[in-house]
Amino acid sequence: MPLSIRPAADADLPAITAIYNDAGVGTTASYDLEPVSLDSRRSWFEQRSRAGFPIVVAELDGRVIGYASYGPFRDKAGYAYTVEHSVYVARDARQRGVGQALMADLVSHARDRGVHVMIGVLDADNAASIAFHRRLDFAEVARLPQVGRKFGRWLDVVMVQLTLPVPEPD
Ligand SMILES: CC(C)(COP(=O)(O)OP(=O)(O)OC[C@H]1O[C@@H](n2cnc3c(N)ncnc32)[C@H](O)[C@@H]1OP(=O)(O)O)[C@@H](O)C(=O)NCCC(=O)NCCS
């Protein structure tokens, strides 16, 4: 069966939670310090879905092997045209185009929604993610030294940005 990218459903939450806890919480890819519960992922899913933000999964042979989503960049109304995304692929499914396929879907959703800027907030040591975003034409726009702390050390953040052309909003 070919790789399919589709909107996430409630039944995908155990897989999404497992991927995030392994790929994000178990590393510096995310600055969450403790594994997240299925219930907290469900609240996140419901909140994002209610607000019309996408959560998409990659499925291969009946198994969810990655997901991507975006949500508000910051709460204030003036940031309405900017989003912050995240993308996670299961370890054993990486470097086979899954992340790229997920991001293509997310960017297409963003274009349809009239999003002007997509921001990724990456750990500076996450070479795979930095190379991945560069390949997808995200530009590095900021480095914030020592804003995170995990595994007993300070962590630097790299912010990357993709600017999408949109008609001037009213
Ligand atoms: C970053 C991540 C999502 C990439 O997903 P992926 O499915 O492995 O990426 P793809 O196979 O689609 O790669 C697309 C391009 O990105 C680049 N890339 C991906 N992984 C790379 C790596 N480990 N080293 C160097 N370049 C890499 C390559 O240029 C690749 O294109 P190519 O195969 O034509 O050379 C994945 O490594 C991951 O889930 N990491 C842990 C979580 C994370 O860091 N998420 C990002 C923070 S939000």
d(CA 95, CA 128): 9
Query: In the prediction, which pLDDT does 113 show?
Result: 95
Query: In the prediction, which pLDDT does 170 show?
Result: 76
d(CA 165, CA 88): 26
Tokens 């995240």 correspond to 86
Q: For ligand 1, atom 26, which residue shows the shortest CA distance?
A: 131
Q: Is ligand 1 within 6 A of the CB of residue 89?
A: yes
| Residue 14 in tokens | 């155990």
**pLDDT-based confidence at residue 166 (cuts at 50, 70, 90):** confident
For 104-132, the pLDDT digits (tens) are 999 999 999 999 999 999 999 999 999 99
**Ligand 1 centroid to 39 CA: how many Å?**
28
Whole-structure pTM value: 0.97
Q: Is ligand 1 within 6 A of the CB of residue 65?
A: no
Short-list 122, 155, 156, CA closest to 136 = 122
Q: Is ligand 1 within 6 A of the CB of residue 20?
A: no
**Ligand 1 centroid to 129 CA: how many Å?**
6
Please give the average per-residue pLDDT across 9-24, as a whole number: 97
Please give the average per-residue pLDDT across 71-82, as a whole number: 97
Q: Is ligand 1 within 6 A of the CB of residue 135?
A: yes
All residues at 6 or more sequence positions from 93 whose CB lies less than 8 Å from its CB, including other chains: 58, 60, 65, 66
Query: In the prediction, which pLDDT does 80 show?
Result: 96
**pLDDT-based confidence at residue 47 (cuts at 50, 70, 90):** very high
pLDDT greater than 80 at residue 1: no
59 vs 168 pLDDT, higher one:
59
Q: Is ligand 1 within 6 A of the CB of residue 30?
A: no
CATH topology of domain 4-163: Aminopeptidase (3.40.630)
**pLDDT-based confidence at residue 135 (cuts at 50, 70, 90):** very high
For 82-106, the pLDDT digits (tens) are 999 999 999 999 999 999 999 999 9
* CA distances, 168 to each of 4, 74, 94, 115, 163 (Å): 34, 21, 38, 11, 13
- Residue 26 near residue 93 (C-beta atoms within 8 A): no
Beta partners for 6? 57
| Mean pLDDT over the full length of the chain | 97
Ligand 1 pocket test, pick from 89, 132, 133, 138 with the greatest ligand atom count within 8 Å of Cβ, gives 132
Q: For ligand 1, atom 23, which residue shows the shortest CA distance?
A: 128
Query: In the prediction, which pLDDT does 167 show?
Result: 86
pLDDT greater than 90 at residue 169: no
**Ligand 1 centroid to 16 CA: how many Å?**
18
B/e letters for 66-82, b = 16+ CB within 10 Å, e = fewer, are: bbbbbeebeeeeeeeeb
d(CA 108, CA 70): 12
